[in-house]
Structures are given as C-alpha cells and as structure tokens.
Amino acid sequence: MPKEKRVDPLTSEERGQYIKRFIDTYKDPKWDWSKYDIHHVVPIQYGGDHSFDNLFPLPRDIHQQVVTPW
C-alpha cells in the first residue's frame, strides 16, 4: 500500500480508547498495559486500519522479538 494511503500509527489517545474498549468487551484482565503493544493483525503497510477487530494486545517482548522482530 502506498505510504500516502496508509493510516498513521496509533496515537496515545487511540491506544487508550482501544484499551478501554478491550476492557469493556472482555472485562479487565488486570494487565500492566505499559508492558503491552497493540498489534495490527493486518499491518498498516498492507492496508490495515485501527478498527477494533484489526488490533490485538501482545506482551511487548513477544511482539518485538517473535511477531515483528525486524
């Protein structure tokens, strides 16, 4: 997807909105959210967006070392 058509990365406000919706939907897992990244299932560079269904919380170490190590 050309850069000019991609959405920008999540802002801290959007991250907070996602976390609130996650908790409202699935209940509060009592996680330390500062240790979690919000992963895009379909990456932004491939046309993914910030819709709730395209986002998934992952522990930062797993996200950065296993899922997207580059």
Over the stretch 7-65, which tens digit does the pLDDT of each residue have?
A: 888 999 999 999 999 999 999 999 999 999 999 999 988 999 999 999 999 999 999 99
For 41, list phi and psi in degrees, rounded to 5.
-65, -55
Tokens 């996200």 correspond to 63
Say whether pTM exceeds 0.85: yes
| 57 part of a folded domain | yes
Q: How many CB atoms lie within 10 A of CB 67?
A: 11
- Residue 2 forms part of a structural domain: no
As a whole number of angstroms, the distance between CA 38 and CA 35 comes to 10
Asked whether residue 1 is domain-assigned, the answer is no
Is residue 41 domain-resident?
yes
Domain span at 16 = 8-67
| The predicted structure's pLDDT at residue 6 | 79
User: Is 3 contained in some domain?
Assistant: no
Considering its fold, how many domains does the chain have in total?
A: 1
Within-domain flag for 29 = yes
CB 35 within 8 A of CB 70: no
Rounded alpha-carbon distances, angstroms, from residue 17 to 5, 8, 9, 49: 23, 16, 14, 15
